[in-house]
C-alpha cells in the first residue's frame, strides 16, 4: 500500500523591509521585558531583524528581566 504524502506545513511569511510606526512603538514597549523571539513572532519578522533594530534604536533588556534569566 502506498503512503500518502503529507502536505508541507505553510510557514508564516515574514515581513521584510520598512518598519511601520506601529511596529516601532510595539518594539519599544515590549523589548525591555519580553523575549526577543516572542516579539519577532508578534511582529512577523525574523529574530535577527528585531535584535538589530532594537540595537540601532538603543534599546536594552531591563535588569529585572535579565535577572529572571539568571544573567544579571
> Distance between CA atoms of 12 and 55, rounded to whole angstroms?
25
pLDDT band at 66 (very low <50, low <70, confident <90, very high): very high
Residue 4, pLDDT score: 66
Integer CA distances (angstroms), 21 to 7, 41, 45, 51, in order: 37, 17, 15, 17
Q: Which helix (H) or strand (E) holds 6?
A: none
More confident residue, 11 or 38: 38
> Distance between CA atoms of 12 and 21, rounded to whole angstroms?
22
More confident residue, 64 or 7: 64
> Distance between CA atoms of 58 and 46, rounded to whole angstroms?
19
Amino acid at each position: 500500500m502506498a503512503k500518502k504524502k503529507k502536505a508541507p506545513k505553510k510557514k508564516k511569511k515574514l515581513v521584510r523591509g520598512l518598519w511601520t510606526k506601529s511596529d516601532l512603538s510595539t518594539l519599544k514597549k515590549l523589548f525591555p521585558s519580553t523575549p526577543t523571539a516572542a516579539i519577532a513572532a508578534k511582529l512577523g519578522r525574523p529574530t535577527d531583524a528585531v535584535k538589530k533594530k532594537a540595537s540601532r534604536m538603543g534599546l536594552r533588556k531591563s535588569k529585572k528581566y535579565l535577572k529572571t534569566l539568571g544573567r544579571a
